[in-house]
Amino acid sequence: MSGALTRSAVQGVTWLGIAHVLGQVLRFGAMIVLARLLLPEDFGVVAMALIVTELVLQTGDLGFSEAIIQRKEVTPSHLSTTFWTGLALGIIFCIVTVAISPFVANFFGDEQVGPILSVSALAFVIAPLRTVHGALLRKRLQFFRFSIGEIGQGVTYVAVAVPLAFAGLGVWSLVLGNLASHLALAILRWILCRWHPSIMFSLKSLKDLWGFGINLTGSRAVHFVTQSLDFLIIGRFLTSAALGFYNLGYRITGFPKNALWMAVARVAFPAFSIVQDENERLRRGFTKSLTYLSLIVIPLFIGLAIIAPELITVVFGQKWSPAILPMQILCIMAAITSISVTVEPLLRSKGRTDIELKFNLVKVALLVPAILIGVKFGILGVAAGISSVAVIIWLTRQIFANRLIGLTMKDYLTALRPAALGSAVMAPTLIAFRYMAANLLTLPDVGLLIGSVLLGAGSYFIALKAARTKALNEMIELFVEVIKPPAKLVMAKMPLVWR
CA distances from 52 to 19, 116, 120, 123, 124 (A): 26, 11, 10, 12, 11
- Quote the pLDDT of residue 494: 45
Q: What is the pLDDT along the chain (499 residues), one digit of tens a residue?
A: 444 544 555 555 566 667 767 777 888 888 899 999 999 999 999 999 999 898 888 777 777 777 777 667 778 888 888 889 889 999 999 999 999 999 999 999 899 999 999 999 999 999 989 888 888 887 776 777 877 888 888 899 999 999 999 999 999 999 999 999 999 999 999 998 888 888 888 888 777 777 666 766 776 777 788 888 899 999 999 999 999 999 999 999 988 777 766 656 555 655 666 666 677 887 888 888 888 888 888 999 999 999 999 999 999 999 999 999 999 999 999 998 888 887 877 776 776 767 777 888 888 899 999 999 999 999 999 999 999 999 999 889 888 888 888 888 888 898 888 899 999 999 999 999 988 887 777 778 888 999 999 999 999 989 888 877 776 766 666 556 555 555 554 445 444 444 4
Would you state the pLDDT for residue 271?
A: 60
**Closest by alpha carbon to 239, among 47, 44, 38, 36?**
44
* Buried-state track 434-455, b at ≥16 Cβ within 10 A, e below 16: beebeeeeebeeeebbebbeeb
Query: Could you give the CA distance from residue 220 to residue 58 in angstroms, rounded to a whole number?
Result: 7
Supply φ then ψ for residue 200, to 5 degrees: -150, 150
The Cβ-side half-sphere exposure at 147, using a 13 Å CA radius, reads: 23
Give residue 364's Cα distance to chain centre: 19
CA dist 232 and 108 (Å) reads 8
Residues 6 or more apart from 206 whose CB is under 8 A from it? 81, 85
Quote the pLDDT of residue 3. 47
User: Residue 266 CA to chain centroid, in angstroms?
Assistant: 12
Polymer length in residues for the chain: 499
Question: Do 430 and 459 touch, CB atoms closer than 8 A?
Answer: yes
